[in-house]
A and B are shown apart, each in its own frame.
Chain A
Amino acid sequence: MITLEMQLDGASFETAGEASSRVKKVLQQIGVPGDVTRRVAIAAYEAEMNVIIHARRGIMTALIYPDRTELTVADEGPGIADISLAMQEGYSTAPDSVREMGFGAGMGLPNMARCSDEFDIETVIGEGTKIRMTIYHEKRP
Chain B
Amino acid sequence: MKLIDVQKILRAEVLCGGEYLTRDVEVACGADLMSDVLAFTKEKALLLTGLTNIQVIRTAEMSDLVGIVFVRGKRPGPEVLQLAAAKGIPLLLSDYPMYESCGILYRVGLKGCSEKVTACEV
Chain A residues at the B interface, C-beta cutoff of 8 Å: 13-14, 16-17, 20-21, 24, 34-35, 38, 41-42, 44-46, 49, 101-108, 110-111, 114
Contact = CB atoms under 8 A, between A and B. Distances in A.
- Interface on chain A toward B: helix, strand, loop, or mixed SS? helix
A111 B39 contact: yes
A105 B62 contact: no
Contacts of B34: 101-103
A17 B55 contact: yes
B58 A101 contact: no
Interface of B: 32-39, 43, 49, 51, 53-56, 58-59, 61-64, 79
B39 A38 contact: no
Given A42-B62, A105-B33, A13 B38 contact: no
B39 A107 contact: yes
A102 B53 CA distance: 9
Given A38-B43, A38-B63, A102-B51, A16 B58 contact: yes
- Interface on chain B toward A: helix, strand, loop, or mixed SS? helix
Contacts of B54: 13-14, 17
Nearest to A48: B58
A35 B43 contact: yes
A101 to B, nearest CB: 6
A13 B55 contact: yes
B91 to A, nearest CB: 16
